[in-house]
Amino acid sequence: MALSDHLRELRARIIRCVLVLVVVFAIALFFYDELAHLIRIPYDTAVERLPDDVSTEIVVNEVTGPLLLQLKLCGLVAVIVSSPYWLYQLWAFIMPGLHPSEKKWSRIFAAIAGPLFFAGVATCYIVLPKAIEVLINFTPADSTNLVDFGKFFSFTTRMLLVFGIAFEIPLFVVMLNLAGVVSGRQLGKYRTWIILGTFIFAAVATPSTDPFSMIMLALPMLMLFLIAEVVARWIDRVKGRNKAGTDQWDDDEVSTL
C-alpha cells in the first residue's frame, strides 16, 4: 500500500474508535451516580482504615467542578469499556505488515488484549485503598485533609490507565517478536535489565509513595514478561523449524534437478 492509503486506513480506524467512544460515553452519562459511587469506594475504604486522629473529607470545588467531573468520569469509563475495540483496531492496522501465516494471531491478540487491560485496571482498583491510606496518613494531627474530588479523580485515572497499559506491554513484546523486531533469545539476554527497568517503571508510574503499589504493579508485569519470553522463544522455534523444513526442501529439489 502507498503511504496515502495507509493514512486513509488510519483515519478510518480512528474515526471508528471515536464513534465507539462517543456511544459508550453517552451511555455512561445515564449511570453517572452509580459510577461516582464506584470511583469513591477506594477512598471510603481507605478512610475506614485510617487512625482516629486523622481527619479527611472529600469535596467538590468551583461552580463548574461537578460538570467537569461528570464529563471526565464518563470519558474514563468509555476508554476502559471500549478498550477491546480500539486495541483490536490498533492491531488490525499493524497486521497487514505481517506475513500471511502470522495474521492468524490477530484474533488471539484481540481476545487477550482486552482482558489484560481489564486485569490491570482491576489490580489497580484493589491497590488504590492502600495507596490512598498511606498518602492521607501524612496529614498532621488536629488537621483536616480536604480532598478535592476532581483532583482525586485525576489521581485515580492516572493509576488505572498506568496499570491497564502496563499489563499490555508484554503483549506488544510478543507482537514485536512476530514482526521479527525482537527475538526470545534477546529477551532472555536482557532479562536482568528488564526486571530492573520494570521496577523503575513501577516506582515512577505509581503516584503514591508506598512500596506496596509499586510491587503490585511490578510483580504482575514481570510474570507477564516471563510468559512473553516463553511465547517468543516458542514462536522463534516454530519459525526456525519451518525455515529449516523449507531449506531442506529447497536443497532436495536442487539436488534432484
Contact yes or no for 75/25 (Cβ under 8 A): yes
**SS3 label, residue 183:** coil
Residue 254 lies in a domain: no
Domain count for the chain: 1
Residue 250 lies in a domain: no
Residue 66 lies in a domain: yes
Residue 252 lies in a domain: no
| pLDDT score for 27 | 94
Q: Between the CA of residue 119 and those of 164, 167, 168, what are the distances in Å? A: 7, 8, 10
**What residues make up the domain containing 122?**
3-240
Residue 139 lies in a domain: yes
| pLDDT score for 219 | 81
If one counts every other C-beta atom within 10 angstroms of the C-beta of residue 206, the result is: 25
Residue 249 lies in a domain: no
Residue 129 lies in a domain: yes
pLDDT by 10s per residue, the chain, length 257:
666 776 887 888 889 989 999 999 999 999 988 888 888 898 998 888 888 788 888 888 888 888 888 898 898 889 878 877 887 787 777 766 656 655 666 667 767 877 888 888 888 888 888 888 888 888 887 788 888 888 888 888 888 888 888 888 888 888 777 767 777 788 888 888 888 888 887 777 766 566 776 777 788 888 888 888 888 888 788 777 445 444 443 444 334 43
Contact yes or no for 160/121 (Cβ under 8 A): yes
| pLDDT score for 101 | 57
| pLDDT score for 98 | 58
Can you state the angle between helices 65-81 and 149-166, rounded to 10 degrees? 10
